[in-house]
Structure formats: structure tokens, C-alpha cells
């Protein structure tokens, strides 16, 4: 897969697909800018080459309509401050007016296009939309790892029409770190998997059993594994239709001599609410009227010990309802344990990213992915459609 540094972009029109799908408050002020800052190395390289830069992104789910609350307009002045120069704002992502603005771009100037998803063709991977987007540039750069698991017009079909298609520095780095973790990891390799449902992580768990030395399970998905072992989990969330599958996963792990760690204690409550009173319980003594909402201190200690000697740690999914302070301690303590590990620590995006930031240990992780869904797809052993398109052109 070629990157932006492998092709000549000097003075050329360079279309960079970025992920500026950032959170905003009611007044459309950007409240968290990680996704903007991760683009800066690629953007600064293009500026150094005096390229004419066109930035494109989606924001939210406007479903093919121009929704003012999902406009990228607030991003332009915010990005201007970060790069120290004006970022012009286009009224749309295609059309005569946009084409004219691109035509008038001078070397080293930046134009931000309006929300790609204002057009239904973006999510439908529409070739006509892709062709019109491609007509704006000499070089297409995909730097949006977080949407590269989607076959959308601005990351997939566009490569059929762009003269040159390459990866941005962020996308290349994401793929490089994942390969370090999965294709040729330093061992022991430990996978930490959490979240609400086994069903959402089942393919990842099954694939990871072909690679890892240890698996650590947390979150509500642990309840399904526990119940499959005959443990009563009270009112906890359980996927009863996956109990047989859970038993098969446990059997496969045992067959491969993979340590498969499940909680030994938990923090439970009588309702799924921030105001609920947390109650510590042993995992084999969960009252029928309570539900598990976090892992307990003994489990945290066991999981931290399991990290001893690890050379590579891959983490995707929180250990409990970390958004509620009363049920966040397990995830926060595990985040600190991972941060203290001398291993190569790779954290999946989405909720895991948010949890690591809440714990304040993001700087101590080797790498935090910018994409939850894309990261999970790689963990499942699948290829990312948008990356396949770039590899095809390499």
C-alpha cells in the first residue's frame, strides 16, 4: 500500500479523505478534537509539498439531507487555528461552485468540503458521486481509518476514478500497528475483550484464539460465558441464544492451551442507572435481583497479574458501564494496569478510547486506534474494503 510520501504531490490538487466526525455541543462547539489532531501529520506534509489541499469528511448521520446541525462549518476555523492558516469552507462537496473553488486554489491552500453524507450516494458507494469527487483532484489520499471498514463512495468507489490513490500517514500507521499486534507479534500476546454483547465480538474472539496466548474477558459479554459454565448471574444481560457458542469458544481455548480469564467477582446493582447503589459480589454468589455492571477488585488484580510478562497487549471493549462513575472503577483500574505494562499496548477505538481518556492514561499507551468498527473488523481477521482498494492500486 503506497502512502502520500511515495508519490509526487508538489503543487498538485490533493484530495484527503479525513475523519472529522467530532463531537459538538448544542452551540456547535467542538468538544473533543482527537480526530482532527490525528490528521495534522498528513496535512502538514502536504502543506510542506505546497499541494492544493481538499479535505473531505462526514459528520453524523444526516441520511442524504443537508442537516444544519451536522455541518462541518465549525471545523474550518478550528482547524485554521491548529495549522496557522485559513481553511476555506465549501458550500457542498460537489457541484459547479465547489469545482470553481478547487480550480482557484493556490499552492499551499486548504479547502474543506461540506459533509459528504449530505448526499445519499456516499453511503451507497455511488459511482457517479465518486467520479465527481475524484474529478476534483490529481491525487486521492485515504487518511480515514475509522470509516475504512465501509464501502462508501469517498473511500472505495473513488479509487476507481482517481488518477492516483494512496494512504495517508494515519491510515498507514493504523495498519502498521495492527500488523505488529497480529501478524508478527512479540509474545506473549494478550487480548482484552469487553463490551456488552458476545454477538458483537464473537467473530473477533474466535479469530483471536488463532493468535493469542491469553484472553481476558469483561463487560456484560462475560455474563454469557459465565452462565454457559453454570454460574447464576441474576438479572444481568445475557445472550441465551449464544450459550452453546460460548461453551464451544471456551472448549477451543482449552484445546489450544490459551488462558481464558473470566471475572471472579463483580460490582452489581438492582437497576441500570447512575444513581444505583453499587454492591460488591462474588461471581458465584450473585443475588437473583441484581445485575452485574462492572468487574470487581479481585478480578482487576487477577487481570493485572495476567499482564505480567506480556510483550503485546491488544484491548477492545470496556470492563463495565464506565460511563457511570459508580461502575467505572474496573475499567479505570484495568486501564492503569495496561498503562503500566512495558508491553506494546494497542487500544481499539470507540468506547475503549473514551475509557482510556477518562482514566487519563492515553499518553502511556503505545497506540490508540481512531476507529472502533474498523479495528474490530481487523480483529475478526477480515480485510477493510477501503484498504483493499488501495492495495489493489499499489
Length of the chain measured in residues: 394
Q: Domains in the chain and their CATH numbers? A: 4-167 (3.40.50.1260), 176-379 (3.40.50.1260)
The pLDDT of residue 180: 87
CA–CA distance, 245 with 340 (Å, rounded to integer) = 34
The pLDDT of residue 182: 84
C-alpha distances in Å from residue 279, one per residue of 271, 296, 324: 11, 10, 14
- Region of poorest pLDDT, from 52-66, 94-108, 371-385: 371-385
CA–CA distance, 140 with 14 (Å, rounded to integer) = 6
Span 85-126, pLDDT tens digits: 999 999 999 999 999 999 999 999 999 999 999 999 999 999
CA–CA distance, 333 with 259 (Å, rounded to integer) = 21
Which of 37, 15, 166, 19 has its CA nearest to residue 105? 15
SS3 content of the chain, % helix, strand, coil (to 5): 40, 15, 45
CA–CA distance, 335 with 295 (Å, rounded to integer) = 13
Rounded to 5°, angle at Cα 43 from 42 and 44:
95
Residues annotated catalytic, as ranges: 35, 197, 350, 373
The pLDDT of residue 239: 95
Confidence of residue 394 (pLDDT cuts 50, 70, 90): low
CA–CA distance, 16 with 139 (Å, rounded to integer) = 8
CA–CA distance, 294 with 299 (Å, rounded to integer) = 10
pTM of the model: 0.90
Give the list of residues 6+ apart from residue 238 with CB closer than 8 angstroms, or none.
223, 224, 227
The full DSSP string for 291-352 is EEEEE-HHHHHHHHHHTTT-SEEEEES-SS-TTSGGG-HHHHHHHHHHHH--SEEEE-STHH
Counting Cβ atoms within 10 Å, is residue 9 exposed (0-12), middle (13-18) or buried (19+)? buried
Amino acid at each position: 500500500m503506497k502512502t502520500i510520501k511515495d508519490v509526487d504531490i508538489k503543487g498538485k490538487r490533493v484530495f484527503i479523505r479525513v475523519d472529522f466526525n467530532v463531537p459538538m455541543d448544542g452551540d456547535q462547539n467542538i468538544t473533543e478534537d482527537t480526530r482532527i489532531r490525528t490528521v495534522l501529520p498528513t496535512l502538514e506534509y502536504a502543506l510542506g509539498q505546497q499541494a492544493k489541499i481538499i479535505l473531505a469528511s462526514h459528520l453524523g448521520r444526516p441520511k442524504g439531507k443537508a442537516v444544519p446541525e451536522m455541518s462541518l462549518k465549525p471545523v474550518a476555523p478550528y482547524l485554521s487555528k491548529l495549522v496557522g492558516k485559513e481553511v476555506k469552507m465549501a458550500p457542498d462537496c460537489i457541484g459547479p461552485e465547489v469545482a470553481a473553488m478547487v480550480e482557484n486554489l493556490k499552492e499551499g491552500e486548504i479547502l474543506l468540503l461540506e459533509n459528504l453524507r449530505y448526499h445519499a450516494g456516499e453511503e451507497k458507494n455511488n459511482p457517479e458521486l465518486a467520479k465527481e469527487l475524484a474529478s476534483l483532484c490529481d491525487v486521492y489520499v485515504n487518511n480515514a481509518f475509522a470509516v475504512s471498514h465501509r464501502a462508501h463512495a469517498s473511500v472505495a468507489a473513488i479509487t476507481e476514478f482517481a488518477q492516483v490513490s494512496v494512504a495517508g500517514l494515519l491510515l498507514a500507521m493504523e495498519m502498521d500497528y495492527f500488523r505488529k499486534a497480529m501478524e508478527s507479534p512479540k509474545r506473549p500476546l494478550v487480548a482484552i475483550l469487553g463490551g456488552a454483547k458476545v454477538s458483537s465480538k464473537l467473530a473477533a474472539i474466535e479469530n483471536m484464539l488463532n493468535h493469542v496466548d491469553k484472553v481476558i474477558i469483561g463487560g456484560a459479554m462475560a455474563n454469557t460465558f459465565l452462565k454457559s459454565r453454570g454460574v447464576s448471574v441474576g438479572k444481568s444481560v445475557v445472550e441465551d441464544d449464544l450459550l452453546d457458542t460460548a461453551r464451544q469458544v471456551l472448549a477451543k481455548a482449552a484445546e489450544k492451551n490459551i488462558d481464558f480469564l473470566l471475572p471472579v467477582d463483580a460490582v452489581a446493582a438492582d437497576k441500570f442507572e447512575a444513581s444505583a447503589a453499587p454492591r460488591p459480589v462474588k461471581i458465584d454468589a450473585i443475588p437473583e435481583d441484581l445485575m452485574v455492571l462492572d468487574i470487581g477488585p479481585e478480578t482487576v488484580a487477577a487481570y493485572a497479574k495476567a499482564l505480567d510478562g506480556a510483550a503485546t497487549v491488544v484491548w477492545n471493549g470496556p470492563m463495565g458501564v464506565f460511563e457511570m462513575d459508580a461502575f467505572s472503577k474496573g475499567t479505570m483500574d484495568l486501564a492503569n494496569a495496561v498503562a503500566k505494562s512495558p508491553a506494546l499496548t494497542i487500544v481499539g477505538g470507540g468506547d475503549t478510547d473514551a475509557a482510556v481518556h477518562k482514566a487519563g492514561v492515553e499518553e502511556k499507551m503505545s497506540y490508540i486506534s481512531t476507529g472502533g468498527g474498523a479495528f474490530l473488523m481487523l480483529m475478526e481477521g477480515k480485510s477493510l474494503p477501503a484498504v483493499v482498494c488501495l492495495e489493489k492500486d499499489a
